[in-house]
Amino acid sequence: MEECIKEIKTLITLRATYKYSSVHINNQANLVDINLKLKGKDILHHLEESNKCCVMAATLGSKVDRKILYYEKVNMTKAVILDACATTAIEEYCDLIENEVKKEVEKDKLNINWRYSPGYGDLDISIQRELLKS
């Protein structure tokens, strides 16, 4: 485990971006400023009292994915452990970004909801491509 933790640290190249959008709710959640429609009852419920939304994308970099794929062929146990380390790393990184966003919006007397990602509930994971384009 310790070996995998050390290895993942050498592979990570952190990158992230985020932007804000006005939210209009009708039968779907419309992120007006980035021209994106989010379909699904769960995301609609999640954003129903929101007038603004922050869309965030974060990555550990492609080296991590490539190394996990490599280990899937030669050492599945190590691949699973490295994948778990990567999951922990990206969640911690997203927590940092979320705290940055929280500080920004508190200046405007706004509150934040919890993070919601494609693949949660009935928000189709295929929306990721559109999110990245926006």
Domain-wise residue ranges, the chain: 2-123
pLDDT > 90? residue 110: no
Residues 20-70: tens digit of each pLDDT: 999 999 888 999 999 999 989 999 999 988 999 999 999 999 999 999 999
Residues 82-109: tens digit of each pLDDT: 999 999 999 999 999 999 999 999 998 8
* pLDDT attached to residue 97: 96
- pTM of the shown model: 0.86
Cα–Cα distance for residue pair 15/58, rounded to 1 Å:
6
Q: Contact at 8 Å (CB) between 59 and 132?
A: no
Question: What's the CATH number of domain 2-123, 3.40.109.40, 3.10.129.10, 3.40.50.10490, 3.40.50.300?
Answer: 3.40.109.40
Question: Cα-flanking dihedrals φ and ψ of residue 60, to 5°?
Answer: -95, -10
